[in-house]
Amino acid sequence: DAGVIQSPRHEVTEMGQEVTLRCKPISGHDYLFWYRQTMMRGLELLIYFNNNVPIDDSGMPEDRFSAKMPNASFSTLKIQPSEPRDSAVYFCASSLGALKETQYFGPGTRLLVL
Amino acid sequence: GIQVEQSPPDLILQEGANSTLRCNFSDSVNNLQWFHQNPWGQLINLFYIPSGTKQNGRLSATTVATERYSLLYISSSQTTDSGVYFCAVVSVGAQKLVFGQGTRLTINP
């Protein structure tokens, strides 16, 4: 299995631009998670899906952030408009089964907003 | 919410040394994972260990759920073991994996 796939790996954009991050979970996994890692806040959960349905989005920082999962093999995290404080590494993870199972992380997208 | 504290925050060792990393958590958990974030930023699963003991090569982990702590042991350290080690937990009744702040391990040749 290829593992969790994320794209792009690096993104540099200017403040105000729309940013779309993409994730392909491990085939057969029914949970998908989006995390953000910063020096100040560490690793924090933004949102997670079960069978393509958003379950908990309480970690999404504000309305500028949105996430979708149109099918079992694809999810997007969108920031519109982007701000410099959104600069971080964004990870996607997936797992088989409920929250008592191992989560497998993708390589992350390093986002820099100028 | 649950608090996850890792110690020490930083650890510098010579190649070949052994190390013990600790994770304390403030509530009962039904999921505990150890991750290694390598210098390239990749998060790699080491153990899923909400209780008991597991071993994988030079690494082993023990979680004493009743006392709310977990230990990660690394024996005969290699330079490739360098990076940040994270403990992450899901407390009973919760739905989120909460990460500690990590232990930064540096193995010098």
What is the tens place of the pLDDT at every residue in B54-103? 999 999 999 999 999 999 999 999 999 999 999 999 998 887 889 999 99
The string of pLDDT tens digits covering residues A45-97 is 999 999 999 999 999 988 999 999 999 999 999 999 999 999 999 999 999 97
B38 in reach of chain A (CB within 8 A)? no
Tell me, yes or no, if B42 comes closer than 8 A to chain A by beta carbon: yes
User: Strand pairing of A42-50 and A31-38?
Assistant: antiparallel
- The residue with tokens 């030079």 is B58
The one-character DSSP state at B43 is E
Q: Is A84 left (phi over 0), alpha (psi -120 to 50) or beta?
A: alpha
C-alpha A100: how far from its chain's center? 20
Of A21, A14, A18, A11, the closest CA to residue A81 belongs to A18
Yes or no, beta carbons of B99 and A59 under 8 Å apart: no
Give the DSSP letter of residue A26. Answer: P
A6, A34 Cβ separation under 8 angstroms:
no
